[in-house]
C-alpha cells in the first residue's frame, strides 16, 4: 500500500481509538461545527479524521484504500496528499454553506468528502476499471459507479432523505476534486 494512503488510514484508525478512549472530548473540539461559537478554524481539516462508529470508519477507509492507492501511484505522494486535502476542504466548505442556509446546528465528521473526491478522480483516471458494489454485489465500470453515486447523493441531499448524512459534503468533495484536476490539466495540458 502506498505510504500516504497507509498513513491516512493509520491516522484515522488512531484517532478513532482516541475517540473511544476520550469520549466526546475530541468530537466537541475537532468535529466541523457550523459557523458560530463552537466553530474553530482547524475544523475544516480535523473533522475528516473523526468517525461516528466503527462501520463509518471501516467503509471510509475501504474507499480510501480502493480509490486512493492507485491514485497515489499515479500522482505520487505530494500531489495525492494535496488532492485529498483539497477534497476534504471543499467538502467542509460545502457543508458549512448548507448548514448556514438551512440553519442546522449539527456537526459533521468523517472522511467521506475526501473519499468522494478520490472516487471522482478514480473514475476519471480509470473509467473502465470494474468496481463492485457491496450491497447488492453488482460489477460496473468506475465512471458509471461515480456518476450514479454522485446523482444519488444529489437526490438524497435535495430531498432530505437519509438525514444525518452530509450529502452535500460528499458532493463538495467531488466538485473540489474535479476543479483541482481541471486546474492541473489546464496548466499541463493533460490529466496528470
Peptide bond into 136 cis (omega under 30): yes
Q: Which domain holds residue 38?
A: 3-188
State residue 162's pLDDT score.
75
pLDDT at residue 189 in the model: 59
Residue 122 DSSP class: H
Task: Dump pLDDT digits (tens) for 14-36.
Answer: 999 999 999 889 999 999 999 99
**Average confidence (pLDDT) over 180-185:** 94
Q: How many CA atoms lie within 13 A of 93 on its CB side?
A: 12
CA distance 35 to 108: 12
Question: For 69-125, what is each residue's pLDDT tens digit?
Answer: 999 999 999 999 999 999 999 999 999 999 999 988 899 999 999 999 999 999 999
Q: Which CA distances in Å does 189 have to 52, 81, 186? A: 41, 21, 5
The end-to-end CA distance of the chain, in Å, is 20
- Integer-rounded Cα Rg, in Å, for the chain is 16
**Mind listing the pLDDT tens digit for each residue in 81-95?**
999 999 999 999 999
Give the model's pLDDT for residue 135.
74
How much is the pLDDT for 190? 53
State pLDDT tens for residues 127-145. Answer: 999 998 777 888 999 999 9
Is residue 191 scored above 80 in pLDDT? Answer: no
Look up the pTM and report it. 0.93
Instruction: Say which CATH number the domain at 82 has.
Output: 1.20.1540.10
What is the C-alpha to C-alpha distance for residues 13 and 50, in angstroms, rounded to an integer? Answer: 9
Instruction: Tell me what pLDDT residue 136 has.
Output: 80
Total tally of structural domains belonging to the chain: 1
Element (H, E) at 130: strand 130-132
- pLDDT for residue 192 is more than 60: no
| Residue 66: predicted pLDDT | 94
53 pLDDT exceeds 80?
yes
Task: Specify the pLDDT at position 159.
Answer: 87
Compute the distance between CA of residue 69 and CA of residue 15 in angstroms, rounded to an integer. Answer: 21
Can you tell me the distance from the alpha carbon of 68 to that of 61, in angstroms, rounded to the nearest whole number?
10
Amino acid at each position: 500500500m502506498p505510504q500516504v494512503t497507509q498513513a491516512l488510514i493509520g491516522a484515522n484508525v488512531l484517532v478513532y481509538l482516541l475517540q473511544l478512549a476520550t469520549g466526546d472530548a475530541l468530537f466537541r473540539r475537532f468535529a466541523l461545527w457550523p459557523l458560530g461559537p463552537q466553530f474553530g478554524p482547524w475544523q475544516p481539516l480535523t473533522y475528516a479524521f473523526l468517525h461516528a462508529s466503527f462501520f463509518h470508519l471501516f467503509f471510509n477507509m475501504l474507499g480510501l484504500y480502493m480509490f486512493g492507492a492507485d491514485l497515489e501511484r499515479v500522482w505520487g505522494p505530494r500531489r495525492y496528499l494535496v488532492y485529498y486535502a483539497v477534497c476534504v476542504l471543499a467538502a467542509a466548505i460545502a457543508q458549512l454553506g448548507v448548514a448556514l442556509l438551512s440553519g442546522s446546528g449539527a456537526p459533521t465528521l468523517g472522511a467521506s468528502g475526501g473519499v468522494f473526491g478520490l472516487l471522482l478522480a478514480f473514475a476519471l483516471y480509470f473509467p473502465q476499471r470494474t468496481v463492485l458494489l457491496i450491497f447488492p454485489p453488482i460489477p460496473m465500470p468506475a465512471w458509471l459507479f461515480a456518476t450514479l453515486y454522485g446523482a444519488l447523493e444529489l437526490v438524497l441531499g435535495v430531498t432530505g432523505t437519509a438525514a444525518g448524512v452530509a450529502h452535500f459534503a460528499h458532493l463538495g468533495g467531488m466538485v473540489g476534486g474535479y476543479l483541482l484536476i481541471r486546474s492541473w490539466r489546464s496548466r499541463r495540458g493533460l490529466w496528470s
